[in-house]
Amino acid sequence: MIGTMFNVCTILAGCAIGGTLKKGIREDCQGAMINAMGLAAVALGINTIAANMPKSEFPVLFIISLAIGSVVGTLLNIDGRFQSLANRNKKSKLGKGLSTAFLLFCIGTLSILGPIRSALYGDHTFLFTNGTLDFVTSIALAATYGYGMMLIAPVVFLWQGSIYLSAGFLQNFLQDSLMTEVSIIGGILIAASGLSVLQIKDCKTMNMLPSLLVPPVWFAVKMFAL
């Protein structure tokens, strides 16, 4: 849980800084920080793909997974539903800020794959990176919505903690070959998120999240078919 604790602490620290500064952070400086985080996400995604692609036992599985997952996500309109949730008028500005923070901090590849890799391999890289991204984002959010944004920290802890514990219970099923395939897809989604942050291409990464479920289904079918 080291990675999760780091992630939660960076959110709390970012909210404390942003709440203190309020709107004192210049807009161009906020843009510079966001661009830096976007580039970091692209770099991490590419590195993850390059590290796992040579180990893949099913070289075309990630292509099939992305195709199927993207179609399913688009039909379900995951991105549109979450954007509507974030933009919906709330009773308070804080409510809108918290809903936006949930989307940014929880519904993302790093926040999902990070606890899994942490539980299975003791690899906290994804969560450390996610924590750094969330630190910058939380400063910007707290500068707008105030100290109340700290309320998202326990939500992130419960979210990532539940994924961490679930990965521990499913350790026998989450074999290395499966995690390799999931990591390739995760790397692509991370890179796609970076492109969206940089406003190069809005890949609607949320619609692609179901792609992460295709490899487990494939391995489950393969296991029971033998």
pLDDT along the chain (226 residues), means of 10: 91 91 71 76 85 89 94 89 63 64 72 84 88 86 82 91 84 77 86 82 85 89 76
pTM of the model: 0.73
| Residue whose C-alpha is closest to residue 77's, from 206, 214, 213, 211 | 206
CA–CA gap between residue 92 and residue 108 (Å, rounded): 25
H helix or E strand, kind and range, residue 169? helix 152-169
Structure confidence at residue 89 (pLDDT): 46
Supply φ then ψ for residue 25, to 5 degrees: -80, 120
